[in-house]
Structure 1
Amino acid sequence: MNIRKLGAREELPIGLLLEADPSEQLVRGYCADGHCFIAERQGAVIGVFVLVALDPDTTEIKNIALAEPERGKGLGKRLVFAALEEAKNLGFSVAEIGTGNSSLAQLALYQKCGFRMKSIDRDFFTRHYEEPIFENGLQCRDMVRLDCRLR
């Protein structure tokens, strides 16, 4: 798996980005404000993450997604660690990430990668998304925010 910054003239892998965030408007907005990185294998995009500065010291991983056929192979963890390394390379000392209260696998993955729970933004998903989101038999309502020290 090769990871590189998406070129300015390259199209966003919008289908993959929408797997992690169902709002195309929000996705396009934060991709325009941040740094989009893609993971490729044999010329095919298999993963993506977007880093957006929150302040001079802190970046947020706004979106991270792996193509369905690539899941369950340990590549998600490699993608998270690559995002943390790129954040360090960009000069950030803290990385944050948010996920839904119903995203059980993601919550476990992020903690395995060194993130710690920071806060909960209650009703984030009901405020920002018109359609209800359901996952793992639960309604996704709250944003669970985690952070990781990079230095």
Structure 2
Amino acid sequence: MKDSRLHIAPTKDNSDIPFDLLELADPSRVRINEYLKTGTCYLAKVDSKVIGVLVLHPIDSTSLEIKNIAIDESEQGKGYGKELLGYSELVGRELGFEKLVIGTGNSSIGQLALYQKVGFEMSRIEKDFFINNYPEPIVENGIQCKHMIILEKVLRK
């Protein structure tokens, strides 16, 4: 990784959870609270300012899922998202996971491109995931978010 001012560390307790950032990637506070119960939340800071967030959750003994990843809108396009993805790989390898999994909406064009650029491969589609799990329609890039696209990356040691 390049020399960066980004510092990533797990949250100390649930009092410092940046819900504003988590909600950039997932508009459901209910769903966020559910995966925060069993996942680990990491804060990405530049100097002392929190500019990003990452939540990792073990699916099983071999797979680690990125449940949420977000960068403050004012800091996007600077490579921090790519650094957080790299960090999630490092954590996954250190914990002995074989695979990293991430899901995103069919309308999340930028995220789909980023994940594939860093080596994630499309695995499957969960049809109507966002229609069935979110009360309000989600629209990104002028496209209704209906389906969850699941991508995976093998973590080689």
Structure 1 runs, 4 residues or longer, greater than 4 Å off = none
How do 1:40-59 and structure 2 match up within 5 A?
Answer: 40-59=45-64
Matched residues in 1 for 2:15 and 2:118: separation? Answer: 29
Instruction: Give TM-score scaled by structure 2 length.
Output: 0.93
Taking only the aligned residue pairs, the percentage that are identical comes to 46
Query: Structure 1's 67 and 113: CA in aligned 2 closer, same or farther, altered over 3 A?
Result: same
Q: Give SS of 1:110's match.
A: helix
Answering whether residue 128 of structure 2 is matched by residue 123 of structure 1, we say yes
Work out whether 1:13 is the aligned partner of 2:31.
Answer: no
Residues 42-73 of structure 1 deviation map (CA, whole Å, 9 limit, x = unaligned):
11110011011110010110000000111011
CA–CA distance in structure 2, aligned partners of residues 41 and 73 of structure 1: 12
Per-residue CA deviation, residues 60-115 of structure 1 (Å, 9 max, x unaligned), is 10000000111011111111111111122222110100000000000000001110
Q: Post-superposition shift, 1:11?
A: 2.2
Which structure 2 residue ranges, 5 or more long, are not aligned? 1-5
Unaligned segments of structure 1, at least 5 residues? none
Confirm or deny that 1:75 pairs with 2:80. yes
TM-score between the two structures when normalised by the length of structure 1: 0.97
Measure, in 1, the Cα distance between the counterparts of 2:74 and 2:97. Answer: 32
In the alignment, is residue 60 of structure 1 matched against residue 65 of structure 2?
A: yes
Specify whether residues 125 and 9 from structure 1 end up closer, same or farther in structure 2 by C-alpha distance, changes over 3 A only.
closer
2:33 is equivalent to residue 28 of structure 1: yes
Instruction: Spell out, residue by residue over 1:127-150, the C-alpha distance to the aligned partner (whole angstroms, 9 max, x if none).
Output: 000000000010000000000001
Report the AA paired with residue 58 of structure 2.
Answer: A
Matched, 1:144 2:153: no
Shift of 1:10: 3.8
Question: Using the alignment, how far apart are the partners of 2:13 and 2:125 within structure 1?
Answer: 34
Q: What number of residue pairs does the alignment pair up?
A: 151
Q: CA deviation at 1:18?
A: 0.6
* SS class of match (2:152): strand
Q: What does residue 91 of structure 1 align with?
A: 96
